[in-house]
Structure 1
Amino acid sequence: MKIFNDPIHGQIELHPLLVKIIDTPQFQRLRHLKQLGSKFLVYPGATHTRFEHSIGVAYLAGCLLKSLRDNQPELNITKQDALCVQIAGLCHDLGHGPFSHLFDGMFIPEVRPNDKWEHEDASVKMFHYMRSKNGLDKVMKEYDLNLDDDIPFTEELIKGNRTSRLLKLKIFFFLQRPPNKSFLYEIVANKLNGIDVDKWDYLARDCHYLGIPNSFDHQRLLKSARVCEVDGEKQICFRDKVADNIHGMFHTRYTLHRQALQHKIGFIIDVKIKDALVLADRKLVPGCKISDAIHDMSEYTKLTDHIYDQILLDSNPELVEAQDILNDIINRQLPKFVGEARLNEDLLEEKLLEQWQQMVDKYNTFYNQDLEAEDFDIHVLDMGFGEVGNEPIDNVHFYSKSNLNTAFKIEKYQKKKRKPEEMEKMEEELEEMEKEETGKMEEEVEEMEKEETGKMEEELEEMEKEETGKMEEEVEEMKKEETDKMEEEVKEMEKRETEEMKKMEKEEKEKIEEEEMEKMEEEVEEMEKEEMWKMEEEVEEMEEMEKEEMEKIEEEEMKEM
């Protein structure tokens, strides 16, 4: 046995085979599937996962079986029976997809409308895949499980195959356990009256993490449970004195759904996430769709709540629209909740869908809008205290202290007597609320119309002010642009003129220099000529003087001779 420390049930012990299952990748995947899907975006504490819930269900299944076996050894509950029921409790949620019921209740029906797929079927497929991938069959044989009988029995328990019995004909189609053990099918997923260990754990766990008061004590029911014969079959019954506690269970379930699981903002977020998943279905993974994974357990094992971040951080440009939706959720830019009403009518959804277009057309005419019926989502929620019938306790059988083996139903006069004062008070308040709701809605509509009219007038005035201010800003901007443009042109002209002046000055300077050079050259030439002439004259004079000198010398020489 291995001990787990659970925040709800305290120190709990689990069979070694269950621990082997827990240590597989397929079960560890449940750590990344939040129990309440996207509700953590509304309730900050709702971050618990299906991992700890599944362990809790397996533990409570073992506790209930031990109580029945200790109190009624004649039931002949074998260790194989107990182990199969606990395995079913542990594995009943293996088939859940990202964001839990959003995936199988909203996403899959939209992208695969012809696929009659439920997460219970996926749980059985994942159970098969987990066994084959991790060699669990060998371990199961070591603990004396008969694979031919006990595996199909476990799968029946996971799927809650109570519906496989024809209730009216009283004929069993359970292949793996005889009719005298039909009560085993009521422990994990009770399709008869909804009282099962799955509900016991999620009521306690969800209320704990959401911060919602829990008026239900599952330990009281667990210890008073007893198997009796009802219409020829064995059913789990409860001591008559715990009827109030059963009412408390269904009351807690109603409160949980009303305040959290069906929260209006939570529903809006679910719709937006579903829209993002639909847009990303064909684009996130090249060559395949997200929804294809429901038929491939290898791929389904990789599919968790992390898909939100996968879509958000992917660089594929085709995912931009889906990423915009998810970013809107992060930034709390959500569609507005218009209103709600508690109505008591048959075929309510069909009537609303027929009349909604007329209501939208009337609104458009009155407010001069251009809305379509498709711009709104209508969510019809059928809320009640039980899952079967108008009064859930109608399907519960009890026994008395004086006669432990005779089952009976609580009669109407006994029900009323046994209902807690809080329940009666709440029902009266609900009836009063239903009566007041219609008048309240009319007042709200009138108030909304007044507010809308005043709002439209304010918006028009604001728009006019904005337009006037915008025009003034545009005129000032244009003036500024023109002034800037003119200043730039003047600067450009001044620049061009400066350049022209510099060019002219340069040319004039070059011209003057050229003329000066020519003049200097002429003067040099003139001077050279004059010098030459002067030199020539001097040479001639010198030659003349030399000639005279020579003549003089010659004369003297002649004289001397």
Structure 2
Amino acid sequence: HEQGSKDIIRRVFKYERVEKALRPYLGGSDNQRYRQNLEFIVELISPPEKMLVDGVWVLKGRSIDKSFLFDIVFNVHESFDVDKFDYVLRDSMLAGFGIRFSKESLLRVINNIRVLKCPRLGIRRICFATKTAGELLSLADSRHVLHARVIQHKTVALIEAMIARAFIAAAPHVVFDTKSGKKIVLSHIHEDLDVFCRVDDSILQMIARSDQPGLERASSILQSISERRLARRVAYVECSPTQKMSGKKY
């Protein structure tokens, strides 16, 4: 989804009203600086794991002396970043599910970070104090518990699977018009950002309530979800990262 986010934000930057709003903060009349800052924002979303290739700094948004900035949004090396801080605390609050990691934990981590040169990578990195190891471990533990008990709960997984089946069943029959005049089906809207950005969760209600021929199967699945007539899990198989599934069918 990171690449999709990059594509969408580049598209947003092209809107005249967006450029008018951003220019005073991202470079003003200096076009080169403005473009560099836009590229910096895009690169922050998902920087490459190797930022130095054969001794050459590959990122364009900021020079190598600002390399630590690329640890903030998406820390590709240790995964301790504001993206994780944000969604763990937010999802916990919205789900009403208590976790060990808290706002106080986050403030303690932030107040004790330092920017130091990493001897392994050869660039400046955001480094965490040893005394905040407990808070960082609680973040990892909280993320694990949140995924196990909420995000990947068996009922959530079942509903997600049923929604996926509904989309697959509906895909050939839900058609959108592109700006170029072409037709594009639901399963290919990611290929056209204009269409993709027009589609939101309301597509589920549209499919569920539609009497269009071909959507009966998809509509039935979504109706089952709304009435809590969910599929049942009949087996659970847990594999280690290196273990391969046998040829058995379950």
Aligned to 1:254: 144
Q: Report the Cα distance in structure 1 between the residues aligned to 2:199 and 2:118, rounded to whole angstroms.
A: 43
What's the secondary structure of 1:300's corresponding residue?
helix
Higher helix share: 1
Determine the structure 2 residue equivalent to 1:151: 38
- TM-score, scaled relative to structure 2: 0.86
Any gaps of 5 or more consecutive residues in structure 1?
A: 1-118, 357-372, 377-561
Q: Which of 7, 14, 24 matches 1:142?
A: 24
Structure 1 CA distance, aligned partners of 2:208 and 2:237? 35
CA separation in 1, counterparts of 2:111 and 2:52? 30
1:47-76 C-alpha deviation (Å, 9 max, x unpaired) = xxxxxxxxxxxxxxxxxxxxxxxxxxxxxx
| 1:237 corresponds to 2:132 | no
Map 1:482-501 onto structure 2 (within 5 A). Answer: none
Alignment partners' CA distance in 2, 1:295 and 1:135: 25
Offset of 1:257 from its aligned partner?
Answer: 0.9
- Matched ranges for 1:372-383 at <5 A: 373=249, 376=250
- Residue 187 of structure 1: which of 68, 72, 93 is its match? 72
After superposition, give the CA deviation of every residue in 1:133-174 in whole Å (9 maximum; x if it has no partner): 34222332222422221111111112x11325257x554211
Q: Deviations over 1:505-530 (max 9, x none)?
A: xxxxxxxxxxxxxxxxxxxxxxxxxx
Q: Which of 99, 107, 114 is equivalent to 1:214?
A: 99
Q: Is the CA contact (8 Å cut-off) linking 1:280 and 1:311 kept in structure 2?
A: yes
Cα distance in structure 1, aligned partners of 2:109 and 2:34:
32
Which position in structure 1 is the counterpart of 2:88?
Answer: 203
TM-fit CA distance, 1:341 = 4.8
**Residue 183 (structure 1) shift:** 0.7
Amino acid paired to 2:38: I
The one of 171, 178, 201 equivalent to 1:305 is: 201
Aligned partner letter, 1:305: D
Q: Distance in 1 between matches of 2:158 and 2:243?
A: 23
Counterpart of 2:30 in structure 1 is: none
> RMSD value over aligned CA atoms?
2.0
Q: Counterparts of 1:312 and 1:269 in 2: how far apart (Å)?
A: 15
Give the alignment partner of residue 165 of structure 1, picking from 34, 37, 51: 51
| Letter aligned with residue 174 of structure 1 | L
What is the Cα deviation at residue 297 of structure 1?
2.2
Deviation at 1:334, TM superposition (A): 2.1
- Is the contact made by 1:162 and 1:192 (CA closer than 8 Å) also made in structure 2? no
Q: Report how far residue 215 of structure 1 moved.
A: 1.0
Alignment-derived partner of residue 275 in structure 1: 165
Query: Aligned equivalents of 1:139 and 1:268: distance in 2?
Result: 43
Distance 1:154 1:345 in 2: 34
Indicate the residue corresponding to 2:116 in structure 1: 228
Mapped contact 1:189–1:198 kept (Cα < 8 A) = yes
Is the partner of 1:228 in helix, strand or coil? strand
Q: Which residue in the other structure is 2:180 paired with?
A: none
Aligned residue identity for 2:140? F
| Matched-pair identity in % | 26
Q: Under a length normalisation based on structure 1, what TM-score does the superposition of the two structures give?
A: 0.40
- Name structure 2 gaps, 5 residues minimum: 28-32, 177-182
Structure 2 letter corresponding to 1:203: V
Letter in 2 for 1:279: A
> 2:240 and 2:62 mapped to 1: Cα distance?
43
Letter in 2 for 1:120: E
Asked if structure 2 preserves the Cα contact closer than 8 Å seen for 1:162 and 1:185, the reply is no
SS at match of 1:288: strand
